[in-house]
């Protein structure tokens, strides 16, 4: 998916509404096991020689539950905002006129590939701790059984390792 700075400059506003396949751009990893196509609704506005691209992204993703590792599917709706300017980035902070200059993506070509920026927005919008349910009981730390499906009956004593010697002392004194 590309945007042309000359088109934005000449038309004033360019609207983009597409479905993008990010299979080659988004990594499938332990935190993102599957995803669908990305639905893109963007508008690019000419703003004092820059192209301000705003809009909304929507994608269905699958992640493992943080507690039980079961699949969690949800749809993300992500706001998108990037500003592109033709030229080279200022070399020092003294050349920056305002805080807005930090938010500008400086490009060297009139044709801008948006896919990396879209993929970055998706990755940053992923839930940090996805849960299949707020009441998810997770996996048993002893046997690894999914406690949402069945109770395993494993004995789970929580003894602070610093006090384990003291517990042994009291066990011997009762004998």
What is the maximum alpha-carbon separation in the chain?
91
126, 124, 84: which is closest to 106 by C-alpha? 84
Q: By C-alpha distance, which of 10, 32, 8, 49 is closest to 124?
A: 32
**What pLDDT is recorded for position 85?**
84
First to last CA, the chain: 76
* CB distance 90 to 96 below 8 Å: yes
Query: How do the domains of the chain map onto residue ranges?
Result: 2-136, 139-175
Q: Which residues pair with 3 in a beta bridge?
A: 112
pTM: predicted TM-score of the whole model, two decimal places: 0.75
pLDDT tens-digit series, residues 38-61 = 999 999 998 887 888 999 999 999
């Amino acid at each position: 998916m590309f945007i042309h700075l000359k088109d934005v400059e000449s038309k004033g506003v360019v609207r983009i509404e597409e479905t993008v396949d990010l299979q080659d751009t988004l990594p499938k990893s332990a935190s993102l096991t599957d995803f669908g196509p990305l639905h893109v609704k963007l508008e690019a506005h000419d703003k004092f020689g820059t192209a301000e691209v705003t809009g909304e992204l929507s994608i269905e993703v699958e992640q493992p539950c943080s507690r039980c590792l079961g699949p969690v599917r949800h749809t993300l709706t992500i706001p998108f905002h990037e500003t592109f300017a033709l030229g080279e980035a200022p070399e020092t902070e003294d050349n920056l006129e305002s805080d807005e200059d930090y938010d500008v993506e400086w490009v060297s070509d009139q044709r801008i590939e948006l896919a990396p920026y879209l993929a970055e927005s998706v990755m940053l919008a992923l839930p940090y701790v996805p849960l299949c349910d707020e009441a998810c009981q997770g996996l048993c730390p002893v046997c690894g059984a999914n406690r949402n499906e069945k109770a395993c009956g494993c004995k789970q004593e929580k003894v602070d390792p610093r006090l384990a010697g003291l517990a042994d002392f009291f066990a011997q004194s009762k004998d």
